[in-house]
């Protein structure tokens, strides 16, 4: 999805000279076209994330809208106080882009697993948090954030796939803060953020074969959450299962639970599928780690069957 992001950003750059991209010495094979075609709008600040976030803020306060690009936790956790004090407190127009959401860089080890980012960024004041599930959502999110005023976090998966056409399911396309209905269903609702939505779709197909009709929602915007889609799902279906390549603490699942409780619309059954072991210490690909840590389609299928009893 990073190439889709870069291509869309390039298109935006050509229309708006006040857009900038800061890279933390990463982006090999991804950012070259931007560097070549819009050199004045690009800056590699070196391996210095605290400085990068400060510079982004300084530029933003001078009228630029600044995308900051790095991988995994580097542009958020390494410089979290700069994100909070500099970017958020000043409402600066900084869009933090992390490629390598969840286990995208699985085999590289725990340092490159972004599995607390949604929770942490969701807690940042004024922060919009977006985790697109496919190429389309990535391009749309990039275009929207290029026009968005205020801080935002864009979590990109390494995968490069397109979701099936969902217009027939009633999906009206991409709108920030609005869930996409990828598949209609009346028994159970599966909600997923990021590329792991493909596992949810696969699980829905497996369950359909067993006579369970699953609604699948792409919750590409984790904050602000689509309250209507969540409460509707809690009312209309018998179970809610959230799926995220992320710790179960504080991310999508928590956001959905908070939303339901405060709206006094209690789901009949509810479960958060995600990382429950703290760190993922096994070594392996994204696909392998999803299986190892209970987030693959088969686990979603098992969870739904258990909930429905």
Partner 1 sequence: MSTAALAKQIRIGALRMTSRGGASHIASILSIADIVAVLYGQTLRVDPAQPRWPARDRFIISKGHAGAAVYVALAERGFFPASLLDTYFKDGSVLSGHFSHKEVPGSEFSTGSLGHGLPVGCGMAYAAKLQSGSQRVFVLLSDGECDEGSNWEAALFAPHHRLDNLVAIVDFNKFQSLDAVEKTLNLEPLADKWRSFGWAVKEVDGHDHAALQQTLGALPFEKEKPSCLIAHTLKGKGVSFMEQNPITWHYRTAKGEEFEAALKEMERA
Cβ closest to partner 1, residue 63 vs residue 211: 63
Q: Which segment (79-87, 127-135, 150-158, 209-217) binds partner 1 by CB under 8 A?
A: 79-87
Of the candidates 106, 102, 158, 161, which has an alpha carbon nearest to the alpha carbon of residue 137? 161
- Footprint of partner 1 on 27-46 (CB under 8 A): 40, 43, 45-46
- The interface with partner 1 within residues 163-222 (CB under 8 A) comprises none
Site residues (CB under 8 A) for partner 1, limited to 259-278: none
**Closer to partner 1 at the Cβ: 25 or 187?**
25
Rg for the chain, CA atoms, rounded? 19
Tokens of 269: 């059954």
| 59 lies in the binding site for partner 1 (CB under 8 A) | yes
Among 33, 58, 80, 257, binds partner 1 (CB under 8 A): 58
Q: Does 69 bind partner 1 (CB under 8 A)?
A: no
Does residue 61 belong to the site contacting partner 1 (CB under 8 A)? yes
Cα 252 to Cα 116: distance, rounded to the nearest angstrom: 11
Per CB under 8 A, 143 contacts partner 1: no
Q: Give kind and range of the element (H or E) at residue 180.
A: strand 180-183
Can you list the alpha helix ranges (DSSP code H) found in the chain?
A: 2-15, 32-37, 49-61, 80-81, 117-122, 135-147, 197-209, 227-236, 252-263, 286-292, 297-308
Q: Strands 221-223 and 128-130, how do they pair?
A: antiparallel
Binding residues (CB under 8 A) for partner 1: these are 40, 43, 45-46, 48, 50-64, 81-82, 85-86, 89-90
């Amino acid at each position: 999805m990073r190439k889709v992001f870069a291509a869309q950003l390039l298109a935006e750059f050509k229309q708006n000279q006040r857009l900038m991209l800061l890279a933390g010495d990463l982006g090999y094979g991804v950012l070259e076209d931007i560097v070549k075609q819009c050199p004045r709008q690009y800056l590699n600040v070196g391996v210095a994330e605290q400085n990068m976030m400060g510079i982004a803020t300084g530029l933003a306060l001078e009228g630029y809208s600044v995308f900051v690009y790095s991988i995994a936790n580097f542009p958020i956790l390494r410089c979290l106080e700069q994100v909070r004090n500099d970017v958020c407190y000043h409402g600066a127009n900084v869009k933090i882009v992390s490629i390598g959401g969840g286990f995208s860089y699985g085999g590289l080890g725990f340092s490159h697993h972004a599995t607390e980012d949604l929770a942490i960024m969701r807690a940042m004041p004024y922060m919009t948090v977006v985790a697109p599930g496919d190429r389309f959502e990535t391009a749309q999110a990039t275009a929207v954030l290029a026009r968005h005023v205020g801080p935002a976090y864009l979590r990109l998966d390494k995968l490069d796939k397109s979701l099936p056409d969902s217009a027939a399911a009633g999906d009206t396309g991409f709108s920030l803060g609005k869930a996409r209905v990828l598949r209609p269903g009346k028994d159970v609702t599966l909600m997923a953020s990021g590329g792991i939505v493909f596992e949810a779709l696969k699980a829905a197909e497996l369950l359909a074969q067993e006579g369970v009709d699953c609604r699948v929602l792409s919750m590409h915007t984790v904050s602000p959450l689509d309250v209507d889609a969540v409460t509707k799902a809690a009312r209309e279906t018998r179970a809610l299962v959230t799926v995220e390549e992320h710790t179960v603490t504080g991310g999508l699942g928590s956001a959905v639970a908070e939303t339901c409780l405060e709206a006094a619309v209690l789901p009949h059954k509810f479960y958060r599928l995600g990382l429950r072991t703290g760190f993922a210490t096994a070594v392996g690909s994204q696909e392998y780690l999803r299986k190892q840590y209970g987030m693959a389609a088969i686990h979603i299928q098992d969870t739904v069957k258990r909930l429905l009893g």
